[in-house]
Amino acid sequence: MLRSALKRLRSPAPGADPSGRQAMVQLDEQEPVLTLYVRALSAGSLSIAPGPTGARHPVTDGRTVFLPPVLPALTSPEHARLRYRLMAAWSVLQARTGCLALAPLPPESTISALAWYELLHGEWLDRQLAAEWPGLASVLADERLAALATRQTLGKRNPAPAERVLRWLLRLPLGRMPLVGEFVEPDSLPFDTAVAERLLTTLASDEPQQLRTLALELATRTPDLVTLVDLPPYRARIRADVLARTRVSARDEHGGRAAFHATGPERPTARRGEPLIIEARSPSVLARQAHGSGRGGRQAVQVSFGDREVPPPARAHFTPLSEAEKAGASLYPEWDSWSGRYLPDWCAVRESRARPGSIDTIERILRQHRPLVQHLKRQFEALRPEPLRFTRQFDGDDLDLAAIIEAAADRAAGLAPSEKLYSLRLQRERNIALACLVDLSGSTGAWVDDDTRCEQVIEVTRRTLVFLCEALSVLDDCYAILGFTGATRKQCQIRVIKGFDEPYGTEVKRRIAGITPGAYTRIGPAVRHTTVLLARQPARVRLLLLISDGRPNDFDGYGGRYGIEDTRRALLEARQRGIATFAVTIDAQAREYMPYMFGPYHYVVVRDIHALCTKLTELYRHLTAR
Amino acid sequence: MEHAVESPWSDAHITEVVEEPFYLPVRDEVAVFEAAYARRLPVMLKGPTGVGKTRFLRYMAWRLRRPLVTVACHDDLTASDLLGRYLIRGGETVWTDGPLTYAARVGAICYLDEIVEARKDTTVVIHPLTDDRRRLRLEKTGELLVARPEFMLVISYNPGYQSLTKNLKPSTRQRFVAIDFDFPPPELEVEIVAHESGLDRDTAGRLVQLGGLIRHLRDTGLDEPASTRLLVYAGLLIRSGIAPRRACELAIAAPLSDDPALRTTILDLVSTIFAE
C-alpha cells in the first residue's frame, strides 16, 4: 500500500512537462475560489494569502491562512487543488478548535514540549477533520500515507523517539481509533503501553485540552529532543519562535498601544492572551505592502485606531468653522458619537467639476473591451420598459373596441361572447435616478497586482465607470457620477464627473479619464451632499450607490468607530428621505462594518477587484430590474 | 391532506387544510400567531425564501380550522384581481368577488404571498382591511363589506431581495405584526430535512452542515443562501438513489448561482462534506 502510494506520487502527471520538470499549480489561480471556500468554512473569520516563496506548509495567525504560493501538480492539477483545499480546511479547523489561542503550554516550556505538542495536536486535528468533513477524509488519508512512505524511504533508518511515534500514528487509520497492539507492537515506541493507551484515548477525545498535559509529560521522557519534528506538509506549523519578535514589532510600530492597521493582509495576534503560535507576517506580504506604499499606496493613508480608540483631544473643544472656511461651501452636520449629538454646520463640502483628462484613455478602454461593452448594453436593453398597453383584458381603464365589436358579433351569431372587453395601460417607465458616489481617496492609488495585471485601484474604478455609463446609455435612467475625497472637515470635495442633467458625451468621458487619487475617505459629508442632490430629482426610485475601497477615514479623528457611526447616520438620513442606499466595496474586511452602516442586505463585497467592472453593472441591472 | 376548493381566480386558490401539516415551531411563532388571530391583527411573515413561511401558515390554517386563500403576487396583479370585478356572462354583467373580498366575506385566512412582487398601487387596497374597522369598500358595487371576525390577513415578505423596486412601503409595513423567520437552528433543521426527505439523521445532518457553510457566503454575491427547501430537495434526490455529491450539485449548487467561482466553491464545499 505504501509503495503504491509513493509510486503514485512520483509518477509524472498526465500531460506533464516531458523535460521532467514538475508541473506546478499557482495559488494565484486558485485564490478566488479558495477565498470563498475558507470564508464559508470559517464563517468569514479567516482569509487567505500567499506565504513566502518556497513555503511548504500553510501557516495561520488566527486571521489569515498563508498558503504555499505554488504546489506541485503531482498526479493532476485537480489533485493540487484538492491539496490546497485540505491545507485551508486544516488551518481553519486549527484556528477554530482554539489550538492557536488556548495558550496550551506555559511560557517556559522546552522545545521538546513544543515539538510534542505540535505533533500531537496535528494528529488530533487530522482525526477531527476527517470526522467533521468526511469528503476530505480520503485525500487526508492519501496525504498521510504519502508522508509516511516518504519518511520511511528517505528518512533515517534509526529514527528519534518523536519520529518513531509520528510514523506509528500515521499508520493508524483515521476512522475508528484502534487499540494499542493492533497496528504495531508497542515495543517500537519510546514509552510503555499505558502511555500509548493514554495517547490514543487523548487523540480520540473531542477536547484538545488533554494534549497539553500529555505533551509536557512526553517532554520529560525525551529531554534530548531539541528540534521540532518535520511534519507532513498539509499541516500548518506552529511557530513559537516568532512569538517574541512579533510582540516587539507590534509594540514598536504603534507606540506601545494595541493598534493595528485596518487593512492589509497581516495583523499581529499577540493581543489574544498568550498564544503559543504566532506566525505574524509572511515576508512576501510585507514586501508587497512596502511595494504598495512606496507607490502612493494605502498604508500611508489607511491607519485606524483599532478597538481601544480614544477621542482625540482636539474634539474636546468644538470650534465652529470660520467664515473663510465656510466661503463657497455647503455646510453639513456631523454625528459626534462621542457625545451622541449632531455637530451643526461641521463640515464644509465644495462641489466642483472634475478635471478632464485625455479622451484617448477612454477610447483605449472602449477599444480593448468592445465585446464586453456590447454584451453589457444588450443586457441593459432587456431592462427597457415593455409595451405599455394590454388589449383584451377583463378590466382596464378603457374599452377595447375591437374586442367589443367581436363580442357583439359573436352574440349576434349565437356564440358565447368573450368577457375580455377592456384594454389596460400600465405605467411601466423606469423612473429611476442614480447617484454613483465614488471613493477617490488616496488608497485608490494602491497597486493591485497579480501575475496577469498590475494596475492601480483607480484604473479599475475608471474602467468600471466607463462600463456603467456605456450600459446606462441605452436606458433613460437619470444618473450622476460624483467623486469624493476629504482632507479634514474643512475641505470635503465633491468632484462632479457627470451631473444629472448632463449627457454622457466627450466632456464626461474626459472627466472620467481625469480622475486621480486624492486624500482621505470622509464618507459622511459626501453622502449628505449627494442626498440633497438626489432628493431634488423627480424620480420614483432614487438610489445612492457607493463604490469604496475601505472604511471611513480622515486624519482629523474621523476614523474607526467615529467615522463608521457618522456614515451610518448619514445613510439613515438618506433612507429617511426615501433614497435607497447600496454599497459595493473591495475591502476584504468590509464585513466588520458594512452590515452596520448599510444593513445586512445592502452591500456587496467584490472579492476580485478586476471583477468590479462587470460586477457593478450587473448589480445595477439586478437592483433595478422589475 | 388538504382539499383544493374550486376557485374562480387565476392568481389565487382556496384550500381547506384537513390533516395536520408537519411543522416544527422554532420559537413562539405559533402562540404569537394565535394571539394575533384572537386580536384580529394582520400578520407579516418575514424571512428568506424556503425557510417554512408557507408551511407555517398552512399549519396555522389547520390549527385554527380556517380555509386558506393564497394569492401568489406578481407585478401584473391589479386591485381588481384582489377585490373582484364585473364579468360579462351572456348578455349580463355579474359581479365576482376577488380572493381578498371572498376571504373577508367568508372569514378565511387571506395569504398574499411575496407581496413585494405586486405593484405598489395594488398593495394599498389592503390598507382599509388592516386597521381596526376591517372594512372594504367595493367601489364598483357600492358595497361596504365588513370582514367576518375570523378573517385574517397575512402577507409574506423577503427582506433579502436586493432590489429597489421590490420593497414594502413603510405605510404598509407598519400595519402588520411581523414574525421573523430565519433558517432553523441546526438540530431542528436536521429533523426537518430528515422528516421531509425520509433520510437518516446522519445524512440529513450532513446536508444541514453544508447549508450552514453555504450561508456564510451570503455577502459575496450569492443572492439567496441555501434554504431548508433546497436541502430537502437534495435529500429527496439522495433518497431516490442519486449519489450525495451529484444530488447536491443538482439541487443546491446549480440553482444557487451562475457565477463560476461561487459555483465551484459550493461544489468544493459539497465534496468537503460528502465522501465519494
pLDDT tens per residue across span B258-271: 878 889 999 999 99
pLDDT at B67 over 90: yes
CA dist A111 and A99 (Å) reads 17
Give me the pLDDT at residue B164, please: 65
Give me the pLDDT at residue B163, please: 66
Contact list in B for residue A615 (CB cut-off 8 A) is 221
pLDDT tens for A177-224 read 766 666 555 566 777 778 888 888 888 888 877 888 888 888 888 777
Q: Among A135, A424, A580, whose Cβ lies nearest the Cβ of B272?
A: A135
Contact list in A for residue B261 (CB cut-off 8 A) is 32-33, 36, 607-608
Give me the pLDDT at residue A197, please: 84
Give me the pLDDT at residue B43, please: 96
Give me the pLDDT at residue B207, please: 97
Which among A463, A494, A493, A490 is positioned nearest to A481, based on CA atoms?
A494
CA dist B257 and A450 (Å) reads 26
More confident position, B165 or B26: B26
Contact list in B for residue A136 (CB cut-off 8 A) is 272
Contact list in A for residue B118 (CB cut-off 8 A) is none
Q: Among A85, A407, A582, whose Cβ lies nearest the Cβ of B272?
A: A85
CA dist B144 and A428 (Å) reads 32
CA dist B27 and A444 (Å) reads 47
Query: Do the strands A579-585 and A541-548 form a parallel or antiparallel pair, or are they unpaired?
Result: parallel
Per-position DSSP letters for B189-246, written without gaps between them:
HHHHHHHHH---HHHHHHHHHHHHHHHTTGGGT-SSPPPHHHHHHHHHHHHTT--HHH
pLDDT at A312 over 60: no
Give me the pLDDT at residue A202, please: 86
A230 class by beta-carbon count within 10 Å (0-12 exposed, 13-18 middle, 19+ buried): middle
Contact list in B for residue A426 (CB cut-off 8 A) is 76
Give me the pLDDT at residue A316, please: 40
Instruction: For residues A515-535, give the mean pLDDT.
Output: 90
Cβ contact, residue pair B165, A625, below 8 Å:
yes
More confident position, A199 or B163: A199
Q: Which three cell numbers stand for residue A491?
A: 475641505
pLDDT tens for A137-169 read 999 999 999 998 888 887 777 778 888 888 888
CB B130 within 8 Å of CB B112: no
pLDDT at A376 over 90: no
Give me the pLDDT at residue A481, please: 94
Mean pLDDT of chain B: 89
Q: Write down how long chain B is.
A: 276
For residue A458, give every residue at least 6 positions away whose Cβ sits within 8 Å of its Cβ, in sequence order, or none: A440, A444, A445, A515, A516, A517
Q: Among B163, B265, B271, whose Cβ lies nearest the Cβ of A40?
A: B265
Q: Please, which residues 145-164 of chain B have a Cβ atom closer than 8 Å to chain A?
A: 159-164
Instruction: For residues A434-458, give the mean pLDDT.
Output: 78
Per-position DSSP letters for A44-61, written without gaps between them:
TS-EEEE--TT--S-EE-
The helix or strand, by DSSP H or E, that contains position A511, with its residue range, turns out to be helix A506-513
Give me the pLDDT at residue A161, please: 81
pLDDT at A243 over 60: no
Q: State the nearest Cα–Cα gap between B274 and chain A, in angstroms.
A: 4
* Range in A606-610, B12-16, B102-106 the model is least confident about: A606-610
Instruction: For residues A269-296, give the mean pLDDT.
Output: 32
Give me the pLDDT at residue A319, please: 79
Query: Number of A:B CB contacts under 8 A?
Result: 109
Which bin fits B107, alpha (ψ -120 to 50), beta or left (φ > 0)?
left
Which among B267, B273, B160 is positioned nearest to B208, based on CA atoms?
B273
Q: Searching chain A, which residue's CA lies closest to the CA of residue B271?
A: A135
Q: Does B217 touch chain A (CB under 8 A)?
A: yes
Cβ contact, residue pair B163, A625, below 8 Å:
yes
Q: State the nearest Cα–Cα gap between B99 and chain A, in angstroms.
A: 16
Q: Among B75, B219, B265, whose Cβ lies nearest the Cβ of A37?
A: B265
Contact list in A for residue B161 (CB cut-off 8 A) is 601
pLDDT band at B250; cut points 50, 70, 90:
very high
Cβ contact, residue pair B270, A41, below 8 Å:
no
Contact list in A for residue B271 (CB cut-off 8 A) is 135
Q: CA-based angle A379:B258:A595, to the nearest 5?
A: 90
Q: Which of A395, A582, A608 to mutate to test the interface with B (most CBs of B within 10 A)?
A: A395
Q: Which three cell numbers stand for residue B113?
A: 404571498
Q: Which of B166, B210, B265, B276 to mutate to test the interface with A (most CBs of A within 10 A)?
A: B265
Cβ contact, residue pair A394, B87, below 8 Å:
yes
Tell whether pTM > 0.80.
no
CA quadruple A243, A248, A249, A250: dihedral positive or negative?
positive
Q: Among B163, B164, B268, whose Cβ lies nearest the Cβ of A37?
A: B268
Q: Which three cell numbers stand for residue B100?
A: 381578498
CB A27 within 8 Å of CB A84: yes
Provide the β-strand partners of residue B109: B68, B152
Cβ contact, residue pair B269, A41, below 8 Å:
yes
Mean pLDDT of chain A: 76
Q: Searching chain B, which residue's CA lies closest to the CA of residue A84?
A: B268
CA dist B19 and B3 (Å) reads 10
Distance of CA B193 to the CA centre of its chain: 18
Which range, A60-74, A419-433, A502-516, has the best average confidence (pLDDT)? A502-516
The helix or strand, by DSSP H or E, that contains position A603, with its residue range, turns out to be strand A603-605
pLDDT band at A438; cut points 50, 70, 90:
very high
**DSSP helix/strand/coil, A123:** helix
Q: Among A33, A604, A622, whose Cβ lies nearest the Cβ of B268?
A: A33
Cβ contact, residue pair A133, B216, below 8 Å:
no
pLDDT band at A313; cut points 50, 70, 90:
very low
Cβ contact, residue pair B220, A394, below 8 Å:
no
Which range, A16-30, A363-377, A545-559, has the best average confidence (pLDDT)? A363-377
pLDDT band at B80; cut points 50, 70, 90:
confident
pLDDT at A107 over 70: no
For residue A336, give every residue at least 6 positions away whose Cβ sits within 8 Å of its Cβ, in sequence order, or none: A315, A342, A343, A562, A566
Q: Which of B165, B249, B262 to mutate to test the interface with A (most CBs of A within 10 A)?
A: B165
pLDDT band at A271; cut points 50, 70, 90:
very low
Per-position DSSP letters for B13-80, written without gaps between them:
EEEEE-SPPP----SSHHHHHHHHHHTT--EEEE--TTSSHHHHHHHHHHHHT--EEEEE--TT--HH
Q: Which of B268, B269, B271, B274 to mutate to test the interface with A (most CBs of A within 10 A)?
A: B268
ipTM above 0.95, yes or no: no
